[in-house]
Every structure is written in structure tokens, then in C-alpha cells.
Amino acid sequence: NLSAVSGFVFVGLSDAPEICLLLFVLFLLIYLATMASNITLLTAISTDSHLHSPMYFFLGNLSLLDLLCPTITVPKMLGALLLEHKEISFSGCLFQHFSLIAVVGTEILLLAVMAYDRYVAVCHPLRYPSIMSTKLCAQLALGTWATGFLNSLLHTSLVFTLSFCGPNKIQQYYCDMPPVLALSCSSTHSRELVILVVAGVLGSSACVVTVVSYLYILLEILARKSPGIWHKAFSTCGSHLAVVCLFYGTTICTYVRPSFTYSPHWDRVVSMLYGMLTPLLNPIIYSLRNKEVKCALKRVISQV
């Protein structure tokens, strides 16, 4: 008597109407603030000639990812809170899952590329324009996006070719990998192993590039021993380092673990961090720590 599941139902964040309305207003304000801050930063980077450099080119890509990440999940969640429309079709869930994994994977790789960019800026300042050429920057950006989408294609094909014939309630407000895997009536161990290996290789490679880049930066700072070098290095790398710690911390807590450790309530809280707060905080962190971005944002706001 098993039948294929044609759609899924999201388990709401709260069933109390008054709480749902409060959450709707809160998440709507966060979403609008995220959109406004990232669009403003993208506008500043594209229109201000002072920001036409590799660092800000990659920052523009990061802002674009921060626009896409909440847009994939938050509108559906807002609809579930306000209209109690919690259903999503199988194909809609597949598309949402694919898009989210693609964005998250691309952002992990992009942060590694940005760490390499900071390494070249600090350790090889005279050769920086020749090393980080326009062609190389375009190739690195294209490579991160392509790898992120190919990685997501593999993950999505492994998850959504499983059999779903029993419960269809997803213990999350979007189609995330752990709660979807938990609903499958097929054996998921081999596919989970492949997913963990592939994600582990890509994630650890990006992490190694980031850590090694900052180790070289630290060694360069210690070797120079010039006055003010610590302040200059921190102003150059501090924003990126804060974003890396924020993103890696929340992503690792959510994805780098087997499904039997899945906790619905804890995962909802963590997913809120990287799905909503991280995209909101990224442009704020870069704006507060960077004088050039501050000036460009002031010019954009004054023009508006």
C-alpha cells in the first residue's frame, strides 16, 4: 500500500496565530533589510570607480549570493506564517534544494578565493595588479559558481532519486537536505556517505586554502615588524575573516554531520543564522570595517 509522495508539508515555526504574526513581521523586516543592504552594496561596487578592483569584484559576487540565499527560502516561509500555505510540490522542493545547495557551495568556495586575494594583497603588494588580473578574477569567479552548481546537481540527484512513500512533513521551513533524507523510505547510508565525502572534500579544500592564506599573511606580518602593520593587516583582512568565521561556523553545524544526529528544533535555529542573519550581517561587516565602502555607500545613498 505504499504510494509515491507528490509533495511535502513544512512544519511551521509556531502554530499559535499571535506568534506567527510576530514572526512574520520580524522575518519580513530582516528580509527587506537584507535585500536593501546587499542591493545598495552591489550598486556602490558597480557604480563607484574606486571599487573597481579584485577585492570588491569578489565582494559583489558575495552580495549577489547573499541576495539569492534568503530569496530561495524566506518568501515561502513568510507565506506559511501568514497564509498557512505550508505545502510545496515535489518539483518545487527539488528546485529549492538545488538552488540553496548551489548558493551555499558557491559561497564556501568564494570565501576561499577571497582569502587568496587577501594573501596576494598583503604578501605580494607590488605584484598584486599583475597576479590578480581581470582575466584571472573572472576565471576564479566563474569556477566557483560552476563548481557550486555541479556540486548541487550531484547532491540533489542523490537525494531526490530516493523513494518517498511515507510521511511527507519536513521538519524545517524549507527543503533542506537532512530533513528530506529523514523522510525517505529507502536506505540512505551509501548516498549519505557519498554526500559527506564530496562535501567534505570541497569544504576542506576551501578551508585549507583559507587557513593557509591567513597563515602566510600572519608570517608576513611577523617578518616585517614595521610600525602599524598589524592595524593595516587587520583593516585589510578583518572583515573577510569575520565573515568566514560566521559562515563556516553555522554551515558546519548544519551540514557536516550524519542524519542520525539531526535535531529539528536546533537545526531551525542554526539555519536561521546562515539563511537569514549571515546575508544581513555580511554587508554590514564590510561597510563598518572599510572606509572605501563607507564613502561609496554615502555617495549612493545621497544620490538616491
Q: How far apart are the first and last CA of the chain?
A: 61
Side chain identity at residue 293, one-letter code: V
Domain ranges of the chain: 14-303
pLDDT reported for residue 255: 56
Task: Label residue 204 exposed, middle or buried (CB < 10 Å: 0-12, 13-18, 19+).
Answer: exposed
**In percent, how much of the chain has pLDDT > 90?**
24
pLDDT band at 10 (very low <50, low <70, confident <90, very high): confident
pLDDT higher than threshold 60 for residue 2: no
DSSP per-residue letters across 182-224: HT-SS--HHHHHHHHHHHHHHHHHHHHHHHHHHHHHHHHHHHH
Cβ neighbour number for residue 192 with a 10 Å cutoff: 18
Rounded CA gap, 199 and 193, in Å? Answer: 10
Give the tens place of pLDDT for each residue, 190-246: 888 888 888 888 888 988 998 898 888 888 887 776 666 666 666 656 666 777 777
Residues 96 and 88 sit within 8 Å (Cβ to Cβ): yes
Architecture of domain 14-303: Up-down Bundle (1.20)
Which residues does 127 contact at the CB level (< 8 Å), separation at least 6? Answer: 120
Q: Which residue has the higher pLDDT, 44 or 249?
A: 44
- pLDDT score of 17: 66
> What cell was used for 208?
585549507
Give the ranges where the chain is alpha helix by DSSP (H): 17-47, 54-83, 90-123, 128-131, 134-160, 177-182, 189-224, 229-255, 264-272, 278-289, 291-303
- The cell 534568503 sits on which residue? 70
Residue 7's H or E segment, with its range, is strand 7-10
For residues 278 and 38, the answer to whether their CB atoms sit within 8 Å is: no
Would you say residue 292 has pLDDT above 90? no
pTM for this predicted structure: 0.85
- Residue 1, pLDDT score: 41
Spatial neighbors of 20 by CB under 8 A, at least 6 apart, are 12, 13, 14, 81, 82
**Cα(246)–Cα(281) distance, integer angstroms:** 9
